[in-house]
Amino acid sequence: MQELKEAASRHALQINELQHRETTLYLEVSALCQTDKETKKLMFEKSQETLSAHSKILTLRTEVVGLQEKAKESKAKIARLKERSTQQEVRLGQLEEELVRKDELFNQTKTELTNNVADAYVAGFEDAMAQVAYAHPGVDLSQTGLPRKIVDGQLVNAKE
């Protein structure tokens, strides 16, 4: 009987040890479940952050595409403006050449007109002198002429 008691005692100890192990395992499982819940919660939060990041990336990609389009438009506009600028520079060069030609023509015409006026003045003066000589045949006109003028009642050279 002693053996039965000892066997029952060992058996009780084993049951007690198994219950202790069961409790420990239950606590470990409970801790693992808690850790699993926390892990799932963290994974959910991280997935939300990932979705938010992806949303921001999509928004930024859309902005980049829009900016790329604007850049293309700006480049095209710059190219058109450069072409227009080049055309304007060519036109400006043509206008400058035309201005130089017209300025030369103006100066030439001015010189010709000045010479014509001077010639007409000389011809008119000589005609007036001839009329005076005709109207007054005895008058000495040798002291008169274009380079002469009257200053303080005296006939003097105009250059004085």
How do residues 61-111 score in pLDDT, each as one tens digit? 999 999 999 999 999 999 999 999 999 999 999 999 999 999 999 999 999
Task: pLDDT band for 10, please (50, 70, 90 cuts).
Answer: confident
- The token pair at 31 is 């801790």
- 154 in any annotated domain: no
Phi, psi at 151, each rounded to 5°: -130, 125
Q: What is the three-class DSSP state of 10?
A: helix
- How far CA 84 is from CA of 12, 29, 58, 93, 109, in Å, comes to 104, 80, 39, 14, 36
Question: What pLDDT sits at residue 160?
Answer: 61
How many domains is the chain built from? 1
Asked if residue 159 belongs to a domain, the reply is no
Domain that holds residue 70: 2-134
123 half-sphere exposure, CB direction, 13 A CA radius: 6
Residue 156 domain flag: no
- The percent helix, strand, coil of the chain (3-state, each to 5) is 85, 5, 10
At residue 130 the predicted structure's pLDDT band, cuts being 50, 70 and 90, is very high
User: What is the reported pLDDT for 43?
Assistant: 96
Handedness of CA 25, 26, 27, 33 (dihedral sign): positive
Kindly state whether residue 152 falls inside one of the protein's structural domains.
no
Asked if the structure places residue 67 within a domain, the reply is yes
| 33 within a domain of the structure (yes/no) | yes
